[in-house]
Amino acid sequence: MAKRGFQNLDAAVSSIVGGAIILGVAFQIFLLIYNGTSGATLNSYLILIFGGFLPGIGIIVLSIISIFPDQNYKLLGGIISVISFLSWLGADGGFLIGFIMALIGGMMIYFNVAIVARSSSGPPSKV
C-alpha cells in the first residue's frame, strides 16, 4: 500500500463488510415485520430505521470516505465505532459478527493502522 495511494483499505473493507451485515440483518427484520410475522407498531419501524438501516448505511459510507487520503481518520473511525454500538438498538449488531467487524474496522481507521507487507531491505539484484 503506497503512502499517497489509498489509505486504510483493509480497515475500510472490514467496516464495509460489518456495515453490510448490519444492513442485511435490518432488511431481514424489516421483511419479517412487513409480512406480519410479528406484531409491528410504529416503534418497531422507528427502531429498525434508526438502529438498523441508518447505522448500516452510515458505516458503509464513512468507510468508503476513509479510504481516500487526507481525511480526518480519528473523526471517521470514532464515528464508525459509535455507530456500530448504536446498531444494537434495531438490528442486534448484525448477528454480533457485523458489530464486531465494524467496530474493529472503525478502531483501525481511528488509529490509522494499515496491514502492509514488508519488503526486503537489500538492493535489487542484477538480471
Nearest to 73 by CA among 38, 114, 33: 114
More confident site: 8 or 113: 8
The pLDDT tens digits of the residues spanning 75-96 come to 999 999 999 888 876 666 566 8
Residue 103 has pLDDT above 50, yes or no: yes
Q: Give Cβ neighbours of residue 26 (< 8 Å, ≥ 6 apart).
A: 48, 51, 52, 53, 56, 90, 91, 94
CA distance 17 to 42: 29
- Predicted confidence at residue 43, as pLDDT, reads 72
For 51, which DSSP code?
I
Instruction: Kindly indicate the confidence band of residue 2, based on its pLDDT and cuts at 50, 70 and 90.
Output: very low
Instruction: Kindly indicate the confidence band of residue 3, based on its pLDDT and cuts at 50, 70 and 90.
Output: very low
CA distance 53 to 42: 15
Residue 1 has pLDDT above 50, yes or no: no
- Predicted confidence at residue 96, as pLDDT, reads 82
- Predicted confidence at residue 118, as pLDDT, reads 56
More confident site: 105 or 32: 105
The pLDDT tens digits of the residues spanning 41-75 come to 767 777 777 778 888 999 999 999 998 877 788 89
CA distance 28 to 102: 19
CA distance 87 to 127: 56
Nearest to 60 by CA among 7, 2, 105: 105
Nearest to 55 by CA among 30, 90, 28: 90
- Predicted confidence at residue 33, as pLDDT, reads 77
Residue 8 has pLDDT above 70, yes or no: yes
- Predicted confidence at residue 29, as pLDDT, reads 79
Phi, psi for residue 29 in degrees, rounded to 5:
-65, -40
